[in-house]
Chain A
């Protein structure tokens, strides 16, 4: 036995899990059954592929095995006789000679259903990771810093709601299209950010979840080639993720201006830049943010950053307190710290409690030579910072000021 079939199973799992489950749900309408049988099919592959060789059409093989398992289970459930009829007459255990390409890709239906606005937001991300990426609830629980039983409950409730409340398993009709695509992108971006910058706790980088978000967005951009914001979100993720190798050093977050830019992934930057090329305005919010990320990524040194363009790009985003705060940073680079501090101070009420507001104020106050004020702002930011790594970075800055 070689490790090749094992590797083939792992690869098929990464690439094919979502398609397999989506197809099974479309076929039997039962999420739990679809997942259980998909799992069993992969378990069967671990036994059969090393023995018989990797089949020519792995997905078709897995689909057939999973469907047979589903039929067995339904046969055993005497009360579900009606479903037996639905599951159809094909009772043979033979692997049908179908090519993988001939199995319809049902993942779009699945992702729109997982991201339905009637589901609680944390459940949408969890359900997407579970059903489309095949992450276990233990893995998702670890990524989101909740207990496994909490995550299990979240998933069970979400599936129950899909069933009880009649959340449709479909690609939304034209009148809902725009809003629902936006909803899916919001979930994917949230997932990416959860992975990129942990919202709480000690660990800063949760690579797996970010990688899954990128993978899903890539699939979505292939499934929806006509949606510029999908491609733009993929670009934004790639251009942000490109800096990942330089973002943490020795357990502390390294600010953008101090990162070792030679560690940035040139491939990811090139791919992200290519995705943005030739797209004319008007740009959606993800396209604008991707272009801002590209301005940073394209600068060989911090001093080369095109702050004027960044400042202009920020004005294209819907004016929220957080985008205003980011715009202020760009303004400080083009118009000086005093002008920026005015902008930042104006956001005090709206961003009270947000550590980056206090940290940005501290930075501007320090640049203006107002060190006592900067120290007080940093102390506040340390109090409000969500992760240990962020707090360490802020403490170092405070020490750098010569403060306590």
Chain B
């Protein structure tokens, strides 16, 4: 099973806690998880002041500064891991230094995701963006909870998790073709109500149900883009089928 780890850093953490989240501790985690064959991709993101959101209600492009939701906790980085089950994914997250200074949301990818192939560095002059695909998922989550088998079958057939949004896999396929080599990879996530959030309280690992931020719009999936510049990324985001009813957040990656 593949899982996404979304890191959220709490800037109010104690100096002792921060002292444990050193670059060396991060390097050690990366080295270990890579050696164990669990870590497939990951990066720090530039701060939210570098975020840009894109919507396209009725086909009109609306570009705004900032993240999709104004919450205290914001995505600061991500990792893609491959683990046999949720317990082992939580254990991998619990070993990450972010737990000393924030929390990690662990969320399974929808089934069938291929291994991401991501060159270590972007091509010269290109920028990488994590495009978070966000939508109001409440209706779809309620529907899925009421009829789990029917939802699974539906998803197999045509509808994706970008619910409340008239979107089909065909639209997504057209979008993927249009994005071409500017899209490195991307996948849909399981609903946020199946997320587990890992943090430390008094140096003990604590896991809680659900995502780290309760917002109207939730992250439904993401794509990793490599573009000429922000306008190029905005153009791709605008043409995404979710742009009509949801929102796309573009987060530049931070060079390691």
Contact = CB atoms under 8 A, between A and B. Distances in A.
A161 B49 contact: yes
Contacts of B52: 118, 165
A117 B254 CA distance: 22
Interface stretch (A136-144, A166-174, A258-266, A290-298): A166-174
B49 A160 contact: yes
Contact of B50 (A161, A168, A176, A179): A161
Interface string B43-61: 0001001101000000001
Interface residues of B, number: 21
A341 B50 CA distance: 47
A165 B64 contact: no
Given A120-B65, A120-B66, A165 B46 contact: yes
A119 B65 contact: yes
Interface stretch (B30-38, B104-112, B193-201, B224-232): B224-232
A157 interface: yes
B212 interface: no
Nearest to B49: A157
B64 to A, nearest CB: 7
A167 B66 contact: no
Interface string A109-152: 00000001111110100000000000000000000000000000
Contacts of B234: 118
A160 B229 contact: no
Given A118-B65, A179-B61, A168 B49 contact: no
A123 B66 CA distance: 13
A165 B250 contact: yes
B133 to A, nearest CB: 18
Contacts of A116: 230
B70 to A, nearest CB: 13
Interface string B226-256: 0111110110000000000000001010100
A222 to B, nearest CB: 25
A200 B15 CA distance: 40
Given A157-B49, A161-B49, A179-B61, A168 B231 contact: yes
A164 interface: yes
Contacts of B233: 166
B127 interface: yes
B132 to A, nearest CB: 14
A118 B127 contact: no
Given A118-B63, A120-B65, A179-B61, A165 B252 contact: yes
Interface of B: 46, 49-50, 52, 61, 63-66, 127, 129, 227-231, 233-234, 250, 252, 254
Given A121-B65, A161-B50, A166-B227, 18 more contacts: A118-B63, A118-B64, A118-B65, A118-B230, A118-B234, A119-B65, A161-B65, A164-B46, A164-B50, A164-B254, A165-B46, A165-B50, A165-B230, A165-B250, A166-B127, A167-B230, A168-B228, A179-B61
